């Protein structure tokens, strides 16, 4: 029974002994490591992997937690690298906090027009 040994993704010669599927020499050669994405399941991937002090979103949302609308707001805030939650975000359906915040800051807080 033959066993196959993983070969370096860069030089295709040496045995893999470093992360990213690279050999020791390639991994520590400047500029090579950056050409190959991490193969770790714990690696940061995608838009949601910002880790820092994010600015507050400019406005709160009236969307209640868990709703499709709130999830869309969270996705947009993530994409913009903003804090996910505004202190005046709605915490339950019909929460008056977001509308009060808008009124206090001189912004239009009127509810959207109803379809007839």
pLDDT, residue 19, reads: 87
Residues for the chain: how many in total? 116
Residues 6+ apart with CB under 8 A from 112: none
Q: Are 35 and 42 in contact (CB under 8 A)?
A: no
* Least confident stretch, 6-20, 23-37, 46-60, 82-96: 46-60
What mean pLDDT, rounded, does the chain reach?
85
Domain definitions of the chain by residue range? 7-43, 46-109
φ/ψ (deg, to 5) at 101:
-60, -45
Whose CA is closest to 92, among 68, 62, 58?
62
How does pLDDT run across 30-51, given as a tens digit for each residue? 999 889 888 777 766 655 555 5
Sign of CA dihedral 8, 11, 14, 18: negative
pTM over 0.75: no
| The pLDDT of residue 5 | 82
């Amino acid at each position: 029974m033959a066993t196959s040994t993983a070969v370096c993704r860069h030089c295709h010669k040496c045995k893999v002994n470093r992360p990213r599927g690279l050999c020791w020499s390639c991994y520590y050669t400047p500029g090579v490591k950056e050409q190959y994405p991490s193969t770790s399941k714990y690696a940061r991937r995608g838009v949601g992997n910002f880790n820092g002090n994010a600015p507050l979103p400019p406005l709160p949302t009236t969307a209640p937690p868990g709703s499709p609308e709130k999830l869309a707001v969270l996705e947009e805030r993530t994409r913009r690298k903003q804090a996910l939650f505004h202190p005046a975000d709605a915490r339950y359906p019909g929460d008056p906090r977001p509308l009060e915040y808008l009124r206090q800051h001189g912004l239009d807080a009127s509810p959207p027009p109803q379809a007839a």
